[in-house]
Structure 1
Amino acid sequence: MVRIDSSLLPNFDFEREALTRGFARVAGIDEAGRGPWAGPVVAAAVILDPDDLPDGLNDSKKLTHARRAELHDIILAKAEVGIGIVDVAVIDRDNILQATYAAMIQAVAALASAPLFALVDGNRAPKLACPVETVIEGDGKCLSIAAASIIAKVTRDRMMVDLDQQYPGYGFAKHKGYGTAEHQEALARLGPTTHHRRSFEPIRVLFETATASL
């Protein structure tokens, strides 16, 4: 059996420190979908119960599809969860960073009660009503952020699977909108959909080429 060094897994230290400072409700926040060429950006905010922490949480990218799905359901059962979804129109209008902030703000607003402190993956964060601490590579260090990464990724992946049913031929269920060779070939063959991000360079060029040919 392969054993994983527990020191390399996310822990509850960031949350525990905030709790000892008197912040009774600590949310971890992360997003999925900043880089793809198509689909929404999704964020999640998760407040874990310190007395009932789920086992096996980790950066969603380090988990199998089946394990992510299993942990997604466990998190929903054990924690408070808020989800924010921002579509392509907003991404193209405001840019992906601002759209990501908007999704995070939506996710926090969707919690049953407002957090008193927030831990956000990365080195930048949106303005929230509570104090915020950013954690670089937080999904691999902080338990609440890891939980948020799982919720955000599973939610977005399922949305892309649904899009695959609506737009067959693009491979959305496989690559989830990322710029793979398969995706690039499909775009060259079929052209972009309304769910492709026109503000992203590869898609912008395709739209301009299609418009110029009319």
Structure 2
Amino acid sequence: MGRAFEYRRASKEARWGKMSKLFPKLGKAITVAAKEGGTDPDMNPKLRTAIMTAKAQNMPKDNIDAAIKRANGKDSSDIKTIHYDGKGPHGALIIVECATDNPTRTVANVKAYFSKNGGEFLPTGSLSFMFSRKAVFEVKTPKMDIEELELTMIDFGMTDIEVNEADDEHEGNVVIYGEYESFGELNRGVEELGLELISANLKFIPNNKQEFSDSELEDIEKLIDKLEDDDDVQAVYTNIE
């Protein structure tokens, strides 16, 4: 996604957090990570980064602890991670990542969002060749030289880096990309360098981005907003430039 679009999404996420939508989603991500790899953050890189991401969003420690404990509860055994594919208005490609204890409910809701907002729900896997699964770490701009950071992180599996300079409205950040399998090593590199983590996720990255006009983006974002407001939806990925 382009920087301007990312900032619009960041503004949306700020409102989202105030509406108490963000913490439940972060909590569910922690529960899923703990369920998959164990409740000890020292032995589970995915859980460790989910906790760090939650802390970066000012999620209270009690909420984090409760989310970890839920991984051992009966309710967590029913939580499944699944993604759905679709086309938004003007042909935008969209992957919707969900964590749900009721896939029947979730898929019905996602289908409805697409159909009511000018989109089209596609069979799961339809966009598998249009996106690549990547490990993505967003950190605050470090004091160290960016070239030194890049050379060091390559040793931990980094394949690409994006530097977003600070301006009057936004703080600067650095986004580090790596292959899906390199998540643990990249996490270790971030920790060893003492980088201040903003978020760390396994994301669907578009292989070919597409530009849309402002009016087209407004139509697409209406659908994205509906998807993101659903409690079962963890993330929405698009091919927007």
**TM-score normalized with structure 2 length:** 0.23
Higher strand content, 1 or 2: 2
Highest relative contact order (Cα 8 Å, sep 6+), 1 or 2?
A: 1
